Amino acid sequence: MRWGIRRSHRLGIALSGGGARGFAHIRVLRVLVEAGWRPEIVTGTSAGGIVGGLFAAGLSPERIEALARRISWRLFMRLDPNGNALVGTDRWARFLREAVGDVRIEDLPIRFAAVAVDLDTGEELWIDRGPLVEAMLATSAFPGVFPPVWWEGRRLVDGGVLNPLPVDAARALGATFVIGVDLSWVEPGQTDRHFPEELPGPLLVRWLTRRARWSRTLEGVFRSVGIMARWITESRLAQAPPDWLIRVPTGDIPVFALDLAPEILERGERAARAALMGLEQAMARPRWLRRLLPQAA
């Protein structure tokens, strides 16, 4: 019965944005795959779009984690030469291209879409064709920090501006059972974490602004964006709820905390393993009942 239930659905997974918190998606995917849950459709926003794109390209979660452990703030220690943002993404683009080459989304073994926003029209776009690397750059183009990406004559920025957790995109691509993974959740009693001054995160911020006294100003911007993302996520979930929601409690971790990758990975694994207990039962329910009795882990 177990495999019969799974075969009756086309499994999709929607991965939220969250900057460095996106490391958690890797372990979520790893736990699901090891348990026999292999998504046929993947959608992602920002960090979720990057991890999801790598997975859709055929990279195993173990391979993605090995790549992730090579990511450091030094990859971004170069100002944008065109003045469109603080940070240039040439090194980052090379890193991604070394991982997947010049593959196009329509040629991926898993159906995939990355969410981005047209900076000029405010339109939400689901990129499900074209070069994968450019799509991953577009979905993660955090406004003001990373430069917009030109895509078919449009200037695209981070999809988290409008849709931090693209459950609706997964359904539109044909998923009949969607797992949503939310990285914005803050456990009761937790507060947003402040970096101590000696960690590289604030050093990067100070380098970007070229003035140490601006460090906390930019940190305040990131915190404000995080608060907005949490509210937008809840609103979108109310409109388009997933069939099963995995909340990874990483909302207290700053979006630029690349140095906390081991902790973020561990939180993702714990949340995914907790979700397995009810996932089978949720998939066995008819869709109308899943909507009446939404479950979260």
What is the average pLDDT across 271-294?
73
Q: Report which listed range, 75-84, 109-118, 189-198, 282-291, is most confident.
A: 109-118
What is the tally of helices (H) and strands (E) in the chain?
11, 8
pLDDT band at 58 (very low <50, low <70, confident <90, very high): very high
pLDDT given for residue 5 in this prediction: 47
**Helix (H/G/I), strand (E/B), else coil: 286:** coil
Binned at pLDDT 50, 70 and 90, residue 82 comes out as: confident
Q: pLDDT value at position 177?
A: 94
Detail the DSSP E strand segments found in the chain: 11-15, 41-45, 111-118, 124-127, 149-151, 154-158, 177-182, 244-247
* Highest averaged pLDDT of the listed ranges 83-87, 127-131, 195-199: 127-131
First-to-final CA distance of the chain? 23
| Strands annotated E in 160-210 | 177-182
> DSSP letter string over 104-140?
BGGGSSSEEEEEEEETTT--EEEE-SSBHHHHHHHHT
Active site residue 168: no
Instruction: Supply angle C-alpha 54, 282, 271, rounded to 5.
Output: 50
Q: What is the predicted pLDDT for the residue at 10?
A: 92
Given a cut of 90, whether residue 253 has pLDDT beyond it is no
How far is it between the farthest Cα atoms of the chain? 62
Predicted local distance difference test score (pLDDT) of residue 52: 98
- Collapsing DSSP to helix, strand or coil, 12 comes out as strand
Quote the pLDDT of residue 296.
45
Of 86 and 147, more confident: 147
Q: Which residues pair with 13 in a beta bridge?
A: 42, 179
pLDDT on residue 197: 40
Tell me the C-alpha to C-alpha distance, in Å, between residue 41 and each of 47, 166, 171. Answer: 17, 12, 9
In the block, which residue shows the tokens 């604030």?
202
> In sequence order, what are the residues at sequence separation of 6 or more whose Cβ sits closer than 8 angstroms to the Cβ of residue 224?
none
* pLDDT confidence of residue 166: 97
* Mean residue pLDDT across the chain: 85
What's the rounded mean pLDDT across residues 44-48? 97
pLDDT in tens, 157-190: 999 999 999 999 999 999 999 999 999 888 766 6
Work out the pLDDT band at 279, boundaries 50, 70, 90.
confident
pLDDT band at 3 (very low <50, low <70, confident <90, very high): very low
Residue 146 contacts residue 161 (beta carbons within 8 Å)? no
How high is the pLDDT of residue 290?
A: 53
Picking from 63, 223, 233, the residue whose alpha carbon sits closest to that of residue 164 is: 233
Q: What's the sign of the alpha-carbon dihedral 278, 276, 38, 126?
A: positive
Average pLDDT over residues 280-295: 63
DSSP bridge partners of 296: 245
Mean pLDDT of 102-110: 98
Burial 130-142 (b: 16+ CB within 10 A, else e): ebbbbbbbbbbbb
- The residue from 16, 46, 184, 215 that is catalytic is 46
Mean pLDDT calculated for residue range 138-144: 94
Does the annotation count 120 as an active-site position? no
Instruction: Give me the half-sphere count of Cα atoms (radius 13 Å) on the Cβ side of residue 31.
Output: 21
pLDDT at 204: 54
The whole-number pLDDT of residue 186 equals 82
Pull the structure tokens for residue 1: 């019965």
Q: Give the list of residues 6+ apart from residue 272 with CB closer than 8 angstroms, or none.
A: 27, 28, 30, 31, 32, 246
User: Does 200 score more than 50 pLDDT?
Assistant: no
Q: Of 80-84, 191-195, 211-215, 266-270, which has the strongest mean pLDDT?
A: 266-270
Q: Which of 158, 168, 182, 243 is catalytic?
A: 158
Among the residue ranges 123-127, 212-216, 231-235, the one predicted with the least confidence is 212-216
What is the length of the chain? Answer: 297
